[in-house]
Structure 1
Amino acid sequence: MDIFTNMSDLQLSLIIIGAIIIAGVAIFNWIQQQRYQRRVQAAFEYKHDDVLLDADSDDSISERIEPVFNKSSLHESDAYHSHAQDIRKNAPISPTPSTAPSNTATSNSAMPTSVLLDYDNATNYIVNIRSDSPIANTYIAKLLQRKFDFGKTVAWLGQRNSDEPWEEITNEANIESDGYRHIKGCLQLADRAGAISEVNLSKFRDLVEEFASQIQATAECPDIVSTHEKAVTLDKFCVDVDVMIGINIISKDDGAFVGTKIRALAEASGFKLDADGVFKYRDDNNHVLFTLSNYESSPFLPENMRSLNTHGVTFLLDVPRVAHGERIFDQMTHLAKIFSNTLGGIIVDDNRVPLSESGLQRSKQQLIDIQSAMKRNHIHAGSASALRLFV
């Protein structure tokens, strides 16, 4: 039986009116979305330098600054850190520490020719195990099972024969291989949780020596005491440069920004909203360059964006994890100005004081100063080594 034959004229009219309303809302939302996208696309006539392909550009490597502005000198550490969002702890910036370690880590501006270039003695405790015959997979599997027993990241590298390249030993690679004759164990000396303990260094050394004894191989393990001292020094240097740089945009006259408008503008600008409630701007390799978060405490959750109102947003750049940070800062600043103009807000420092162009330039100079310190100590921002240290 046709259901419509049993409906009154009133019911049919209500159904038709409801369908028209739903279609009207959908069309209105589509028009709004297109308007925001056209506005952002027009603003993006500004041309960015390609931070990944511009090989002739300045070779300065980025490091990490916190959201602090209008500070006249990097050495004014108390003022510099007074409004910082420090991931580790508040610590004075020391661009040229005399005790800072020296290593041979490479920049991520070029692909390494060997996995060995991703690991160095200044940021890792590296042991060598050499065998005259291939080491059985079952023995290596036992080593891999202990990767998480020492409080820091452990990587095992293997060489099947002296004339073959090094490779990282994973469970899959171990199963597929015919065994490795030369193995390197790389235990990271520090991360954002601090330096590795002397106890864990000793446990790792004991594991390696016991393993070598079982398979009739030789083991070379550096001194524990001096390595721990190096770890403490490395951690101190990382604390000194482990900062973020940020830009706040707040509403005028105690107004509010609407969540749907923030999301439309962010997505049109290239951000993607992650499950943690933060918009992230990534490069072609899916590396996060900078983020956009709520100036207030509540995150940008997808299900809440329609009803959300906030008095501001914050751009943040995690400097040790981004190569060519000074150019990424320029890109982030450009986007911040677009957001400020489109949302009708103002760019301010952490004291809610309007941030001038000269203030932005001083913040960029602070970034460059810290970049130079990291580069002198051969820990290049955005490199594989930096991504492990600052995690």
Structure 2
Amino acid sequence: MSSTLQIGLAVAGGVVLAAVVAHGAWSSRRNAPRRPDPVAEPALPPEPGAGDERREPAFDDGLPLPAAPERRPALDGLIDVIAPIALESPVSGDAVLAALPATRRVGSKPFGVEGRNAATQQWEAPQAGQRYEALQAGVQLANRTGALNEIEFSEFVMKAQAFADAVNGAPEFPDMREQVARARELDQFASAHDAQLSFTLRARNAAWSPGYLHQHAARLGFVPGLIPGRMVLPAATPGLPHVLGLAFDPQAALSDDPDHAAIRVVTLTLDVPQVGRAEQPFVRMREAAAALAEAMDGVVTDDASRPLAREAMDVIGAELEQLYDTLDARELSAGSALARRLFS
């Protein structure tokens, strides 16, 4: 009788233990990060030139602007201090390039040089094999680091004078106080009209693996960025900044076992002044957030973890339209070359 009871207890204990193990395995599978569908299309590889570097080179890159919708000089009196440099005779592009300073910055501001091509009469970044009958040096009045100050203006004068001496040119500099005042006014305007939006997508239940997130984002047109934990939605025109960014924990992206790396929070971002209105970036941001939330069982919230209602998004959209109008009126339209330089 005792032996039978012991056997029965052992069997019952084994059943309970098996049930506990099975429940643990089930719970582990239930709480494990969601993995990509193996039969679905894989996440797209980075496109050539895609990612965080999809932008038009600014004049401080020392490169001619690529073929793009806008063909205007890099230097512009609207956002630059410009010092004309008179020449006694035309100078070769090779000589101009050799005389350029080693660094193309003045403090925190881009510094650039342009020449008026003797053959085409167009202002352009200096190019070898060309001849220039006039030159001009410039420094940007403001960017996201702040306004050009007196120290930076003085550094600009020294750098431009040294360049002019090297090409036997005579520079003419504007009044420092006037230019610093312009810089402060432009900086105040830019600060008051800068907008960088973000939506947060949070997992309701199971977390997401990097592959699962990449798979769903790729279906909406996102491609991997150059930084781990980042994807971007490229612009329609090559060379322009990406329309949207998508970011998640870079440690998950670099995990040795990505199938078990858990992502519970994803951030969608829009740098408003960098993207043209014609791209409809906010509309696409809303659509992408909604599509990802539905497909991955997530919820869209603000930075304070509050769910974003449709009404709140409508208000944001209306305010953005007013911002676009204000930038247009100032000749700094969102997505334009000047806006991209100013808001950088």
TM-score by length of 2: 0.73
Q: Do 2:255 and 2:261's aligned partners in 1 also have CA atoms closer than 8 Å?
A: no
SS at match of 2:78: coil
Percent of pairs with identical residues: 23
**Which runs of structure 2 are paired with 1:126-137 in the superposition (5 Å)?**
126-135=82-91, 137=94
Distance 1:187 1:32 in 2: 54
Q: What code does the residue aligned with 1:124 have?
A: D
Q: Which residue of 2 aligns with 1:342?
A: 295
Q: Label 1:36 to 1:263 Cα distance change in 2 as closer, same or farther (>3 A).
A: closer
Q: Which residue of 2 aligns with 1:189?
A: 141
Q: Deviations over 1:12-63 (max 9, x none)?
A: xxxxxxxxxxxxxxxx9774424999xxxxxxxxxxxxxxxxxxxxxxxxxx
1:292 aligns with 2:281: no
**Which runs of structure 2 are paired with 1:99-110 in the superposition (5 Å)?**
none
1:358 aligns with 2:302: no
1:187: how far off? Answer: 0.8
Q: What code does the residue aligned with 1:278 have?
A: R
Q: Which residue of 2 aligns with 1:148?
A: 105
Q: Label 1:291 to 1:207 Cα distance change in 2 as closer, same or farther (>3 A).
A: closer
Structure showing greater Rg: 2
Q: Do 1:319 and 1:325's aligned partners in 2 also have CA atoms closer than 8 Å?
A: no
Distance 1:215 1:31 in 2: 63
Match of 2:215 among 264, 270, 277: 264
SS at match of 2:259: coil
Q: Label 1:363 to 1:219 Cα distance change in 2 as closer, same or farther (>3 A).
A: same
Aligned length: 283
1:256: how far off? Answer: 2.1
Task: Using CA pairs under 8 Å that are at least 6 residues apart, name the structure with larger relative contact order, 1 or 2.
Answer: 1
1:333: how far off? Answer: 0.9
Q: Which runs of 5+ in 1 are unaligned?
A: 1-27, 38-109
- The answer to which of 337-346 and 279-288 deviates more is 279-288
1:370: how far off? Answer: 1.9
Q: Which runs of 5+ in 2 are unaligned?
A: 1-34, 45-67
Q: Label 1:186 to 1:355 Cα distance change in 2 as closer, same or farther (>3 A).
A: same
1:128: how far off? Answer: 0.7
1:379: how far off? Answer: 1.2
1:390: how far off? Answer: 2.0
Distance 1:139 1:364 in 2: 47
Q: Label 1:300 to 1:383 Cα distance change in 2 as closer, same or farther (>3 A).
A: farther
Q: Label 1:368 to 1:259 Cα distance change in 2 as closer, same or farther (>3 A).
A: same
1:381 aligns with 2:343: no
Q: Label 1:161 to 1:198 Cα distance change in 2 as closer, same or farther (>3 A).
A: same
1:310 aligns with 2:263: yes
Q: Label 1:299 to 1:231 Cα distance change in 2 as closer, same or farther (>3 A).
A: farther
Q: CA RMSD in A?
A: 2.9
Q: Which residue of 2 aligns with 1:249?
A: 201
Q: Deviations over 1:65-88 (max 9, x none)?
A: xxxxxxxxxxxxxxxxxxxxxxxx
1:279: how far off? Answer: 0.8
Q: Label 1:306 to 1:217 Cα distance change in 2 as closer, same or farther (>3 A).
A: same
1:220: how far off? Answer: 2.2
1:150: how far off? Answer: 4.1
1:222 aligns with 2:180: no
- The answer to which of 336-345 and 144-153 deviates more is 144-153
Distance 2:331 2:211 in 1: 44
1:112 aligns with 2:45: no
Q: Label 1:176 to 1:214 Cα distance change in 2 as closer, same or farther (>3 A).
A: closer
Distance 1:316 1:267 in 2: 16
Q: Deviations over 1:313-372 (max 9, x none)?
A: 121101111001782111121111111111111222222222221111011112222222
Distance 1:220 1:214 in 2: 15
1:226: how far off? Answer: 0.7
Distance 1:389 1:146 in 2: 19
Q: Do 1:212 and 1:218's aligned partners in 2 also have CA atoms closer than 8 Å?
A: yes
Q: What code does the residue aligned with 2:243 have?
A: L
